[in-house]
Amino acid sequence: MPARFKVDENLPNEIAELLDGRGFDAVTVADQAWSGLPDDLLWHRIQQEDRWIVTADKEFGDVRRYSPGSHAGVLLLRSREEGLDDYLSLATTAADCIDFDDAAGAVVVVTDRGVRIRRAP
């Protein structure tokens, strides 16, 4: 079964399209009319669906709050430019370089300098 993703509202919808095109199951927060939900409620709903959150929100990358192994996974895209092309480039890197089955439950940070994966201890 392919990895399942929920793309946060702070990222372009094209991220979900890119992931879908790579064989993953990706939907957006907006697809379910969840835009504007507080982070805690959004997190809870995404975890109920057993999906990775794909986000640009650094708070979701806080391993003290979202400890690896306690969730489906966090994919944090850290762009310098915060434009469509940069985010698509980071998402492409993630889709091409990460084995999401192996990284399940991890906090994964993708930047233009590389990929960091924080797994459960």
pLDDT value of residue 67:
94
CA 95-48-74 angle, 5° bins? 35
Q: Across the 121 residues of the chain, what is the mean pLDDT of every consecutive 10-residue run?
A: 93 96 96 93 96 96 94 96 92 96 97 95 81
pLDDT value of residue 107:
98
d(CA 62, CA 120): 13
CATH tag for 4-118 (out of 3.40.50, 3.30.980, 3.30.1480, 2.40.10): 3.40.50
User: What are the extents of the domains in the chain?
Assistant: 4-118
